[in-house]
Amino acid sequence: MEKVFYGVDLGKKGGIVVLKNGAIIHKEVMPLVADEDVDVKAIGRIFKKFGVENAHVVFEKFSGFFGYNKNAAVSLSRQSGMIESLIILMGIPYTKVLPKTWQKVVWENTKMLEKADGKKDTKAISLVTAKRLFPKENFILPKCKKEHDGLIDALLLAEYGRRKGL
């Protein structure tokens, strides 16, 4: 039985990607209830649909409030707890990983792009990486003009799990 990796990018603009045999078998934006909270029931249905046996969930470890406004930080902390509780209740092994940790692994062999201020452009680097690893995949949602960051990060989180053999 091939292992299934779930990548979950937290946030109202987050996403969930399912990898099996190194291929994307499912992707969707973060399901929400009333455009506010993550829809834990919908996430549970995704896990059940693609399997909890021989599966592993990877999502970002929320590491604090730096760079976030208070409301966003509270929302992300709450979502993280809700998703972690769901995963525990469903008995699925999981890994919470800091952004710098998963990025170092999956960004390997990707040119580091910078913003005008000289800082790494993490969204651009992730997009280039995702397109390099999955060149036929489309990350643009209907009626949108640019790629969905949440789907890209969710994909790279799942790929991190696959590469690390979690």
For 145, the domain range is: 4-164
**pTM of the predicted structure, to 2 decimals:** 0.92
* pLDDT (mean) for 140-165: 93
Would you state the structure tokens that stand for residue 131, as one six-digit string?
């397109």
Per-residue model confidence as pLDDT tens digits over 17-63: 999 999 999 999 999 998 678 899 999 999 999 999 999 999 998 77
- The mean pLDDT value of the chain amounts to 90
How many structural domains comprise the chain? 1
The pLDDT, as a whole number, for residue 116 is: 80
| CATH number of domain containing 8 | 3.30.420.10
Those residues with Cβ within 8 angstroms of residue 5's Cβ, 6 or more apart along the chain or in another chain: 18, 19, 20, 55, 56, 57, 58, 158, 159, 161, 162, 166
The pLDDT, as a whole number, for residue 68 is: 61
Distance CA 60, CA 63 (A): 9
The pLDDT, as a whole number, for residue 118 is: 80
The pLDDT, as a whole number, for residue 67 is: 58
